[in-house]
Amino acid sequence: MKIAEQLAAFDTKKKAAADLMDGIMNKAGDEGRTLDEHEQEQYDGAAAEVKAIDEHIARLKAHEARQVATAAVITPAAGTTDKSALDLGSGRGVLSVRRNVDKGIAFTRYACALMQAKGNLMQAVELSKRWDDSTPEVGISIKAAVASGTTADATWAAPLVQYNDMVGEFIELLRNQTILGKLTQLTKVPFNTRIPRQTAGSTGAFVGEGLPAPVNAMAFDNVTLPWSKADCIVVLTKELARLSSPNAEALARNDLMSGISEYLDKRFIDPSFAGVTSVSPASVTNGVVALASGGSTVAAITDDAERMIRAFVTARLSLQTGAWIMSPETALALSMVRGTQDNFMFPDISQNGGTYFKMPVITSKSTTAAGSPTDGHIILIDQREVLLADDGQMMIDASGEASVQMNDAPSAGAQSLVSFWQMGLLGLKCERWIHWVKRRSTAVGILDNVNY
């Protein structure tokens, strides 16, 4: 590691230790007492760490000064002007330094340390030291969590900056995989917000001379977005959690993302999901009367799209914020449809998205029910007419001693359970606070029985 990187890492560690000392003294001062035995041990340990870091920083700076003094002068290459050679140093050049770890690795290491320690934060701090060279924020975040006692309080200050960075990094990767993450024009609102909605409006009329003008009444109701949370439990073996190779970390990260993204996609788009009051929102397609696909010929495919767009326009929805949602298989099949001249009829669409009739395409396997291609759907949605409340946080809890149903649709009551302790497993529970609701019932259209 370069000296500048070492200095930055030690400065961060020193700040975390100093913050811990300040927190202990401030708490004792507020309560008008001296430090107890545990607080003395914590404070003295942090003070010793600050002193050791200061001494080491002084040595690093002296070492850096010696390196600079003995450095060889580099002669610019032929044709390089003094100005261009100095541009990098003045900030006008293109020079960047990045960590050599993938996005999400820091958060995954944080999760794996908690899992291996069975939720014990003190043990997790020790386990995280193996990553201090590449992701020191993991250990710093856990230390801050030990001092403050909770990792769910949004009012935490500087000690949890690193934790918030890791969560944001993980959420970014997750959102890129979900339907909700790809629908970029949804209307964002806060939780527990009641929004007035107009359900009936006034109309005008021609009036003859001397005749009374009609009186109209408008009607309103409310749309509310309460708190809702989505949970997902991922189970790994203890052996996998103990591995420190990037491959094991990437596996854990991808498993977390796949589980949560699949759940959210299904709940967002599955027409059969009516939601549960005070628990979860209904899917945006629930209650929508679907149109039946007319077949797989070019004429039938075009007619299917025209009927959906016509219904969209009749409902006075905006094509500018419209988007198609379909399975990757359906999108791929459409991209290969050929006309009478053997030309591709829909060249702008692919299994990764693209456009279909000039509107963006979002692909997701959640549009196919139970793996049956005859149950596939194509959805047309006005993004502006869907309200989304998203906390943007991922909260985690780890355990190696719980007993759970190894089922993605668990049932209440007595069930067959698997013991993590007996089977040598570790469970990581992730929570995401999110809720959505359609502003108008006509905001979404469905084409059913798609088998292109």
| CATH code of 317's domain | 3.90.1690
Length of the chain: 452
Poorest-pLDDT segment among 273-282, 299-308, 372-381: 372-381
> Do 183 and 309 reside in the same domain of the chain?
yes
123 within a domain of the structure (yes/no): no
Same structural domain for residues 435 and 307?
Answer: yes
Residue 428 within a domain: yes
Tokens matching residue 376: 């596939």
Q: At 145, is the pLDDT very low, low, confident or very high (cuts 50, 70, 90)?
A: low
C-alpha separations of 129 from 69, 139, 279, 340 in Å = 33, 6, 39, 65
* Residue that is written with structure tokens 């030690």 in the block: 10
**Better-scored residue on pLDDT, 196 or 74:** 196
Element (H, E) at 431: strand 425-438
What residues make up the domain containing 22? 1-67
Please determine, for residue 370, whether its predicted confidence score (pLDDT) is greater than 60: no
Among residues of the chain, what percentage have pLDDT more than 70? 78
What pLDDT, on a 0 to 100 scale, did the predictor assign at position 163?
A: 57
Looking only at Cα atoms, what is the longest distance across the chain? 102
Same domain for 372 and 232: yes
Distance between CA atoms of 316 and 443, rounded to whole angstroms? 9
Per-residue pLDDT, 9: 84
Which residue, 22, 46, 67, sits at the end of a domain?
67
Q: Which of 26-30, 77-81, 295-299 has the lowest mean pLDDT?
A: 77-81
Question: Which pair of structure tokens corresponds to residue 282?
Answer: 């209904």
Which residue reads 């149109």 in tokens?
291
Beta-carbon contacts of 340 under 8 Å, excluding residues fewer than 6 positions away, are none
Do 185 and 40 lie in a common domain? no
Residues 336, 193 share a domain: yes
Q: Average pLDDT in the 419-427 region?
A: 83
Domain boundary among the residues 11, 38, 67 is at: 67
> Is the pLDDT at 47 greater than 70, yes or no?
yes
Give pLDDT, residue 172. Answer: 63
Q: In this structure, is residue 371 part of a structural domain?
A: yes
**Does 17 reside within a domain?**
yes
Q: Return the residue matching tokens 């995401």.
A: 432
Task: Evaluate whether residue 133 is within a structural domain.
Answer: no
What total number of domains does the chain contain?
Answer: 2
* Pair (248, 382) in one structural domain: yes
- What local confidence, expressed as pLDDT, does residue 155 receive? 46
Per-residue pLDDT, 445: 93
Instruction: Give the residue with greater pLDDT, 250 vs 227.
Output: 227
Q: Are residues 239 and 369 in the same domain?
A: yes
Q: For residue 97, what pLDDT is reported?
A: 56
Q: Is residue 254 part of a domain?
A: yes
Q: Is residue 316 part of a domain?
A: yes
At residue 295, does pLDDT exceed 80? yes
Q: Which among 94-108, 209-223, 356-370 has the top mean pLDDT?
A: 356-370
Which of the listed residues 49, 67, 85 is the one where a domain comes to its end? 67
Q: What pLDDT was estimated at residue 78?
A: 57
pLDDT band at 372 (very low <50, low <70, confident <90, very high): very low
Hey, which of 191-200, 213-222, 375-384 has the most confident mean pLDDT? 375-384
Per DSSP, the three-state class of 39 is helix
pLDDT value at 157 more than 50? no
Dihedrals phi, psi of 303, to nearest 5 degrees: -65, -40
What was the pLDDT predicted at 383? 92
Residues 194 and 341 in one domain: yes
For the stretch 273-278, contacts whose Cβ atoms lie closer than 8 Å and that sit 24 or more positions apart, written own/partner, are 278/226
pLDDT band for 366, please (50, 70, 90 cuts). confident
Least confident of 101-115, 227-241, 367-381, 387-401: 367-381
User: If you average pLDDT over every residue of the chain, what do you get?
Assistant: 79
- Judge whether 151 lies within some domain: no
